[in-house]
A and B are shown apart, each in its own frame.
Chain A
């Protein structure tokens, strides 16, 4: 019986203790920050997670904030570059609550923080880009680009003001989109089409002239090859003729016989197949047709 009472008493105390604890104990969760106010005046900044004590309401109140880095993107808005070009640009910023007390006093809520940041982004983006030409953002010559330094410049400016005024730390900042106003896109398309047409025509004429060049080169090469071969052939033939002339030297021994033999050859060469041969019967062997021959010596 005593033991049982003890159990009940203990249970009672535990429950009562828990109820009281809930009034005076509060938890700051990992990733959160809190400010404790005493009669409305901020008295304690809590940026570490864990359990903390406080006086019960209405003496002390706890304001909790998400202390993780928030990613906020500003609106996609039109700005003017130094050379008077209209651009659409949007930036995003990663921010976190650095000091909860100034944040509570000067900002109060995450939504308000984003509204404030939006204002800062707008101011410093247009101020910074107003000092740079469009070609610092978009350029095939990488050395003329100032993209990263422009980002850094805006980040520094936003960070300084956010820290001193709102207790907000800017972790990162980036340009997310750069575009052109709607009416300008149609002009860009016109230019793009014109550039493409020019390119098409260039390719077409390049193809034709290159093909012509290759053909002409090939033709001239062929002529040269054939001319060389002809010259070589003449040389070879002349060589043969020179050697033949050497052989003919022997004809000098009896030129009459040489001429006669040559005549025989020529006659044989000239009278090829299917010629019509007209001979007088006074020439051999047709002299036989004329009657008896006088074979007497």
Chain B
């Protein structure tokens, strides 16, 4: 009984076993799927974690709007979480980095890859509007200027969400400010005497305009890297510098001459004065010596005039004779012939 009963039952039993196995398999797959869904869900939520680097600031756009209120809108460096895409978007701004920009729009065209000395030879006698940049000066001269700018993003929200390309605007504003000031300055002040004042005035004009436009950019420093006359006129400008140097050389040589002349004249004048003072002293002393002598010999003279006179005369001759180179004594004889005696060289004893 059991056998026949079991026979129709055996496929049924096999069915049961199959169902069981299927159910098991399904249960396992359900579990796996559930696990997968949970893992995917967690992974999805984790994908909302993002980091902000030290030089950056970031904004989270949640459903298009900036998430957070007031200061919370800006995400500082560190780890952050937000709802993942498509609910939110992360916008990063290199806010803390100082950016450098060189502006060559007012510089002449330079052939790329050529060394500077070959650049210096002007390609033509004119400036081509689309190729060569330059600025006019107040006295309608042409000059070339090169600028360097250092800036940071001060207001990232304005920088990113209010302006499309604020850096390009900054560049154009830079050109404008440089031109605006140059248009009222004469070329000599710009090129030579007042370069720093020009830079400062351009800086001021640029800052004023930056405040007005609120690009979210702060300009830290404006450098005037170079300002030159056009290559086509450079030698004429150099000649002026040379002439100016010649002028000051001439003038300083003349000043040196004047100083020397003044000193020499003063020296000569004091020499003349001291000589005259010495002469005065000599005249006075001689006079008083003469007077003294006179006074001292006068009493003797009054008594024996001839003797004193002869004695004084002989004394003087004694003092004079040794100094003479030659002594020639001429004797007149009674018969009229002359006898000449020559003594050569003073006697060594005198």
Partner-B contacts on A (CB < 8 A) = 4, 7, 11, 27-32, 49-51, 66, 68-71, 73, 76, 88, 92, 94, 137-142, 145, 147, 171-172, 174-183, 185-186, 188-189, 191-193, 195-197, 199-201, 203-204, 206-208, 210-215, 217-219, 221-222, 225-226, 228-230, 232-234, 236-237, 239-241, 243-248, 250-251, 253-254, 257-258, 260-262, 264-265, 267-268, 271-282, 284-286, 289-290
Contacts and interface: CB of A to CB of B under 8 A. Distances in A.
A251 B294 CA distance: 7
Contact of B172 (A141, A174, A247, A280): A174
A171 B247 contact: no
Contact of B254 (A31, A211, A271): A211
Interface string B83-94: 000000100000
B237 A196 contact: yes
A102 to B, nearest CB: 20
Contacts of A71: 163-165, 168-169, 172
15 contacts: A7-B34, A29-B61, A31-B160, A73-B172, A94-B213, A147-B183, A188-B140, A203-B243, A212-B254, A217-B258, A225-B265, A254-B302, A257-B294, A260-B312, A279-B330
A204 B245 CA distance: 9
Contact of A27 (B63, B254, B287, B291): B63
A200 B239 contact: yes
Given A237-B279, A247-B290, A139 B258 contact: no
A244 B126 contact: no
B39 interface: no
**What's the dominant secondary structure at chain B's contact region?**
helix
Interface string B307-328: 0011011101101110111111
A16 B281 CA distance: 133
Interface stretch (B1-9, B218-226, B267-275): B267-275
Interface residues of B, number: 125
Given A196-B237, A206-B247, A214-B251, 19 more contacts: A30-B64, A30-B66, A68-B161, A68-B163, A70-B165, A172-B213, A174-B176, A175-B176, A186-B126, A192-B233, A221-B265, A234-B276, A244-B284, A257-B297, A257-B301, A258-B294, A271-B324, A275-B324, A280-B331
B227 to A, nearest CB: 15
A240 B290 contact: no
Nearest to B230: A189
Contact of B34 (A4, A203, A286): A4
Nearest to B242: A200
B287 A243 contact: yes
Contacts of B269: 225-226, 228-229
Given A247-B290, A254-B298, A282-B332, A215 B257 contact: yes
A23 B53 CA distance: 36
A50 B63 contact: yes
Nearest to A260: B309
A271 B316 CA distance: 11
A151 to B, nearest CB: 9
A233 to B, nearest CB: 3
A250 B293 CA distance: 11
B229 interface: yes
B264 A138 contact: no
A282 B333 CA distance: 10
Contacts of B236: 192-193, 196-197, 200
B142 interface: yes
Given A179-B129, A200-B242, A218-B257, A289 B184 contact: no
A221 B320 CA distance: 47
Contact of A290 (B185, B293, B331): B331
A68 B138 contact: no
B127 A185 contact: yes
Contacts of B249: 207
B294 A222 contact: no
A178 B286 CA distance: 92
Given A193-B236, A234-B276, A204 B243 contact: yes
A175 B341 contact: no
B15 interface: no
Contact of A247 (B246, B273, B287): B287
A233 B275 contact: yes
A50 B265 contact: no
A2 to B, nearest CB: 12
B116 to A, nearest CB: 21
B243 A92 contact: no
Contacts of B30: 4
Contact of B268 (A183, A226, A277): A226
B123 interface: no
A276 B332 CA distance: 19
B129 A50 contact: no
B97 interface: no
Closest A-B pairs by Cβ, 3 of them: A207-B247, A240-B280, A244-B287
Contacts of A275: 323-325
Nearest to A279: B329
Contact of A268 (B66, B286, B319): B319
B295 interface: yes
Contacts of A264: 312-313, 316
B251 A207 contact: yes
B179 interface: yes
B139 interface: yes
Contacts of B14: none
B324 A233 contact: no
B253 interface: yes
Contacts of B265: 221-222, 225-226
A285 B282 CA distance: 32
